[in-house]
Structure 1
């Protein structure tokens, strides 16, 4: 897989967006997501927060390890379509076996509405 990632911040109607553009299997694609007002370079930097997403790449269950409580979890495909959403998230795993092979973005929101995005690949 040839991958080029461009991360940028743009201000549109007082909102910040994360934009990713990459090449996968000889095709350019991108992703844009509004991640809130209080971010720097498109991603909220959380101090003393450890978030791990594993295994990556994943076949069946994706595990999330974090030292803070999550409120919601979203998964977006490379086209920016929401393919999974769970409010009141209270487990540490997500079954992703039904997702097609490819690149996905995991948007995690904590109880204080801070957001972070992790990339993962399904096999």
Structure 2
């Protein structure tokens, strides 16, 4: 297409004749084919990503994943076996966030939820903090285009660390340690038969909200400033113990 100079009112199509301006030229790219994870358009049909640990660490990455239609939405799930605790952290590579020597063509957002949390807030590139998953369970991820109608490629990356070998059900049956009251309002008390080395408290999404060195058989923790909700307390004696309590 050759436009005439000097603000001419017509343009010349090579091999043809003159046409009056404006001439609309529509360039269409070849449509994307559905990726190998489809159909995964809701959490019931979420694609299961296999987890393989190497020294208690695993890295999951999608390959060739894309938003192939303007209304495409992708769901994935990760099943973590019971009997362990886990921490995970996710990131997406897309048109604006990608490593050197790689490129992706769609700008995407993502969120997640577990059996103990609601859907998280929407994240653009990556999670700032790791999330704790007690005693295994299923974690879901949802990837969508930044703006409706966008299509293109992206990659979901999930780093997982296995951090404990004791399930909550097994731990709750231990009698050598007492945590009370439950629910608690202002102070939480801990008594143990063995020396308590340290105590950590996490909220329901796995964020550490308290860390206390103890070195005694008992301790008291002031939690009156905590928002109401469910918390998990990690107590380190000669072994690690996890208890769940409610702050009201």
CA shift, 1:31, in A, is: 3.5
Structure 2: distance between partners of 1:105 and 1:60? 16
The residue correspondences of 1:1-123 to structure 2 (distance < 5 A) are: 12-15=53-56, 17-18=84-85, 21-22=115-116, 27=118, 31-32=132-133, 34-36=162-164, 39-41=165-167, 49-90=175-216, 91-110=218-237, 112=238, 114-123=239-248
Higher RCO (CA-CA < 8 Å; seq separation 6+): 1
What is the CA RMSD across the aligned residues, in angstroms? 3.2
Using the TM superposition, give the Cα deviation of residue 40 of structure 1 relative to its aligned residue in structure 2, in angstroms. Answer: 4.8
Normalised to the residue count of structure 2, the TM-score between the two structures is 0.36
Q: Is the 8 A contact 2:168 2:242 kept in 1?
A: no
What is the CA–CA distance in structure 1 between the aligned matches of 2:183 and 2:168, rounded to whole Å? 24
C-alpha separation between the residues in 2 aligned to 1:104 and 1:89? 22
Q: Which has the higher strand share?
A: 1
Query: Is residue 230–residue 246 contact of structure 2 (8 Å, CA) maintained in 1?
Result: yes
User: Residues of 1 paired with 2:179 and 2:168: CA distance?
Assistant: 20
Aligned in 2, Cα 1:40/1:17: closer, same or farther, shift over 3 Å?
closer
Q: CA deviation at 1:41?
A: 4.6
Unaligned runs of 5+ in 1: 1-9
Query: Scaled by the length of structure 1, what TM-score is found?
Result: 0.67
CA contact (8 A) 2:168 2:243 kept: no
Name structure 2 gaps, 5 residues minimum. Answer: 1-50, 57-82, 87-113, 121-130, 135-161
List per-residue Cα deviations over 1:13-33 (Å, max 9, x = no partner). Answer: 33384268336xxx4688426
Larger Rg: 2
How many corresponding residue pairs? 106
> Aligned equivalents of 1:11 and 1:69: distance in 2?
36
